[in-house]
Amino acid sequence: MINQLLTHDPFERDALMMDYHKWGNRVGEARNALRARLDDERSLALMERQDELIPRTVELQDRVVDLAARDAIEPAMRIVRNELFDLDRQFDGVIQELRRHEQAIMQAAIDRARDTAETARRFMLWFGIGGILFAAILMLTTRRTFRRLQHELHEQAEQLDQASERLHYESRHDALTGLLNRRAFYEQAAHCQRDGGSFALAYIDLDCFKPVNDEHGHAIGDDVLTRVGERLQAAAGESGIVARLGGDEFCLLVPDDEGLAEHEAALRAELERPLTIDGRQIDPRLSIGWARCPADGTDLDELITRADGRMYAQKGERRRGPAERRGADRG
C-alpha cells in the first residue's frame, strides 16, 4: 500500500494494487487455516479480537487507495502513519498473544499427562499384584496417549508458529525484494533515535528503471529491483538498515553521519556495476540524497523529505548535462 502512494505511474499503481490484494488473500487464507485448528474459548476470543480490527483496517485502506488514486498523497500518508500502523501493531500483538496461549495449552496438557503417569505409578505401589497389572496397563495406555497428544500438540504449535511468523514477516517486508518495508524501516530508525546516536539517511532512486521497464518489460524490471536490493543490502553491511520505500526508490540508514562522500562513492561502486539479465546488459544509475540526524532534524518524515529533495536536486543536476552547467557558470 505504501508503494502505491509513492509511484506516479498508473500502470505500476495497478500492478501494486494486484499485489496488495494477492497478499491480503494469503493473510486471509492463513487466518482461516489457523481458525480451523482452534477449539478453545480463549483462542477463538483472540481470533475475534482480530476480526474486530479488520473492518476498520479495510475502511482505512480503502480511503488510502482512493486518496492515492486522486494523488492526495500527504492525507493518505497521514492515515497510514497515524492509524494504520497502530492497527497493524494491534493485529500482530493478537497473533503473539495467541502463540503464547497455545504454548501454555500445550504445556498444561503435557503436565496433565505426567500427573496421570505419576498417579498410575503410585497406584501400582499401593495395591498388590492385581493392582500392579492394572496400573501397568494404565501406564502403558497413558504413555501412548501422552505420546500421541504430545505429537499432536507439537504439530499444532509448529503450524501456529509458522502462520504467525509468516504473517509477521509479510507485514514488515517488501514482497518483491525481501527488504524492509516503510513501516519496519520507521521502527528501526526510531530505535536508532532512542539510542541517542547520530545517523545519516540516504534516499536512493534508480534513474534507469522506467526505460528498462518500458523497453524490456516488468519481469526484467522486477529482476533489476531485486538485484539492486541485494547489492544495497550487501553494501550496507551488518550495521546499515535498508528498505524499499516503493517503485524504484530505496532508503539506507547508516549509524554514522560523517564521511557521506565516501559512503556515496562506495554505494555507486557497488550498485552501478552492470547487470546481466536474460542476456541483456543493464547499467544501473543512481541519484542519491542525504540527510543527517540530528543536524537536519530529528523527525523521520522530515529527514526523508530532505533526503528526497536533495536526491531530486542531484537528479536534475545530472540531467542538465556538463555543457549547460558550464554555461551557467560563465553567466
pLDDT of 28 above 60: yes
Q: Does domain 182-330 have CATH number 3.30.70.270?
A: yes
Where are the domains positioned within the chain?
2-172, 182-330
The C-alpha atoms of residue 197 and residue 186 are separated, in whole angstroms, by 16
Confidence of residue 27 (pLDDT cuts 50, 70, 90): low
Between 231 and 197, the more confident residue is 231
What is the arithmetic mean of pLDDT over 230-238? 91
CA distances from 217 to 8, 22, 221 (A): 18, 21, 6
Q: Which residue has the cell 479495510?
A: 58
> Tell me: the pLDDT tens digits for 139-192?
677 767 767 766 776 777 677 777 777 777 888 888 899 999 988 898 888 888
Q: Which residue has the cell 536474460?
A: 278
DSSP summary character for residue 197: -
CA distances from 152 to 6, 98, 99 (A): 46, 17, 16
CB 231, CB 271: distance < 8 Å: yes
> Tell me: the pLDDT tens digits for 276-319?
998 889 999 999 999 998 899 888 889 999 999 999 999 888 77
Extract the C-alpha cell encoding 80. 497510514
Residue type, 79: I
Confidence of residue 234 (pLDDT cuts 50, 70, 90): very high
